[in-house]
Amino acid sequence: MVKIVLSGCSGKMGSTITNLALQKFPNIQIVAGIDKFTNVNRNYPIFEKAENCSVDYDVLLDFSRADTLTSLIELSKKTKKPLILCSTGYTDEDLDLIEKASKEIPLFRSANMSIGINLVNALLKKISPILYENFDFDIELVERHHNQKVDSPSGTALLLAHSIQNSLNEETNLIYGREGIGKREKNEICVNTVRGGGIIGDHEVIYAGDGEVIEVNHKAISRDVFAIGALKACEYMASQTKTGKYSMDDVLNINF
């Protein structure tokens, strides 16, 4: 049995993960939650702060907000248990803190827990150099989310954009949206953001060439996809004792 402490347990994703763990993951038990809203009905105790969490667990899973990072890292270092970070909106200082923490604990981080997104991300690393460097395709991204999302661009859009950039031998310039007068520069990769309604999460990568356009799309139609990926990651990380950084590539054993 994999015992999980769920940070952000009172939110929408917390509710989805709690329900799916009960319905589809008999080998997983959520033994406690961490959230400032402690009066939510859950089948486990909820602690307002990470430092108050006193239960024994195997994996700490975070689906809260970036401002909880320090307290979660401190708890993980104290218990010497794996930490799974699924929040987005981290600052450069936060990313530096994550890097340092990975030298002391097994630390998993992904901007998107969807199995599909991570397979798409692996695909983009393969096709981007071919299309951009060999055939002069332009690359643009569009991400769409609900009107309550607080960070922009989405962490997933940045994940995809940075994967594309890192796969290229040529230096590119990541920009966010367009306005004003002036033609597109060849080395630009633009991330365009849409916020509206209840869109769960749509990501589109456009490869535009002379005479043809290739589009790689992923649409999340249910939050279940993120919860399933997160719980799969918990199963994987529960057996990891080696310090370092882990990702969905490790969980899915992506090597193409």
Per the annotation, binding residues are 8-13, 48-49, 86-88, 110-113, 146, 155-156
Round to the nearest angstrom and report the end-to-end CA distance of the chain.
Answer: 32
The 3-class secondary structure across 93-136, one letter per residue, is HHHHHHHHHCCCCEEEECCCCCHHHHHHHHHHHHHHHHHHHHHC
Annotated binding site for NAD(+): 8-13, 48, 86-88, 110-113
List 81, 145, 203, 218, catalytic entry: 145
Per the CB < 8 A criterion, the answer to whether 114 and 218 are in contact is: yes
Active site residue 218: no
Look up 162 and say whether it is catalytic.
Answer: no
Q: The dihedral of CA 215, 191, 250, 220: what is its sign?
A: negative
Q: Phi and psi of 244, rounded to 5°?
A: 135, 180
Q: Coil, helix or strand for 13? A: helix
Q: Which helix (H) or strand (E) holds 173?
A: strand 173-176
Which residue of the set 149, 162, 232, 245 is catalytic?
Answer: 149
Binding-site residues for NADP(+), please?
49
Burial class, 195, CB count within 10 angstroms (exposed 0-12 / middle 13-18 / buried 19+): middle
> Do the strands 201-208 and 213-220 form a parallel or antiparallel pair, or are they unpaired?
antiparallel
Give the C-alpha distances (Å, rounded to integers) separating 124 from 33, 168, 206: 36, 11, 11
Q: Which residues are annotated as a binding site for (S)-2,3,4,5-tetrahydrodipicolinate?
A: 146, 155-156
Identify whether the C-beta of residue 167 lies closer than 8 Å to the C-beta of residue 115: no
Contact between 89 and 111 (Cβ < 8 Å): no
- Tell me which residue has tokens 């990313």: 95
Residues labelled as active-site residues: 145, 149
